[in-house]
Structure 1
Amino acid sequence: MENKQEVLDRLNNWGGENLGKTLDIIFTDVTEDSLTATMPVTPKVHQPYGIMHGGASCVLAETLGSCLSVLHVNIEKFAPVGTNINSNHLRSKKSGIVTGIARFIRKGNTMHVSEIEIRDEKGHLINHTTMTNNIIARQ
């Protein structure tokens, strides 16, 4: 693996304006087997009851799962494309920071399946997501 800070800098500065940046998602750690990011829970990600919107959890999870796959393919030849996401919202969150960690369940040549856990500052599990990426040839 290339230098950890270089990987994090590349991910945090990739792609100009995008949904991850809109929600202030920041990649904070990367290992051979995992990718970690944080997201602040502010009114920007609330639903009308004043708690974190489930869609915001899905955005954090899908951002992590997609980028984990990107780190493990030759992106000049292949593109990870999300094909399925299953997200369980287990606990509400009104404010603070959530941290998501993505790990592979399966890392094949044509399909990656990731598990993403999103936790609060106390370590409580807020969301559990599984995500499938098909690895397709770029044209």
Structure 2
Amino acid sequence: MNKEERLQKLNDWCKNTLLETLEIKFTDIGEDFLVATMPVTPRVHQPIGMLHGGASVALAESLGSTLSNIVLDQTKNAAVGTNINSNHLKSKREGMVTGTARLLRKGRTQHFTEIEIRDEKGDLICHTTMTNVVINVR
């Protein structure tokens, strides 16, 4: 499958999920990274009109979990999140944020991922690390 087909498959896989609700869209993929965007609209605001930290964490976890799973043989294994740590560094009221997940360690039983969420200017909005455990699905 080429890159565009892989991205389309991932985006189709997200229909009727939280990712569709938050309008998260996968936009780039590579050997050890995955990129997605999320619009910042009132749908993802907290009551005072800023991007909700939970929406940022949902974007980060969606990227980290998906990246871990696409590098596995999904007929045998799945990656499930066991820990996520996010630092919210800058507020955002409107526009678009882009998250980039990079697999820092791909072990046999554990994956460790770093996710950066940036705005259109490249400013770091949220920095996240995530640990996934690889389980047997047979």
TM-score, normalised by the number of residues in structure 2: 0.98
The one-letter code matched in structure 2 to 1:47 is Q
1:47 aligns with 2:50: no
Q: In 2, Cα distance between the equivalents of 1:90 and 1:110? A: 31
Contact 2:92 2:125 in 1 (8 A): yes
**Cα displacement string for residues 92-132 of structure 1 (whole angstroms, at most 9, x for unaligned residues):** 00000000000011111110010000000000000000001
Q: In 1, Cα distance between the equivalents of 2:108 and 2:59? A: 24
Q: Which consecutive unaligned segments of at least 5 residues does structure 1 have?
A: none
**Cα displacement string for residues 14-48 of structure 1 (whole angstroms, at most 9, x for unaligned residues):** 05310011000000000112100000000000001
TM-score, normalised by the number of residues in structure 1: 0.97
Q: Describe the SS at the equivalent of 1:60.
A: helix
What is aligned with 1:29? 28
Q: In 2, Cα distance between the equivalents of 1:8 and 1:108? A: 24
Runs of 4+ aligned structure 1 residues displaced above 3 Å come to: none
1:69 aligns with 2:84: no
Tell me how many residue pairs correspond in the alignment.
138
Identity among equivalent positions (%) equals 62
1:16 aligns with 2:15: yes
RMSD: 0.8
Q: Which consecutive unaligned segments of at least 5 residues does structure 2 have?
A: none
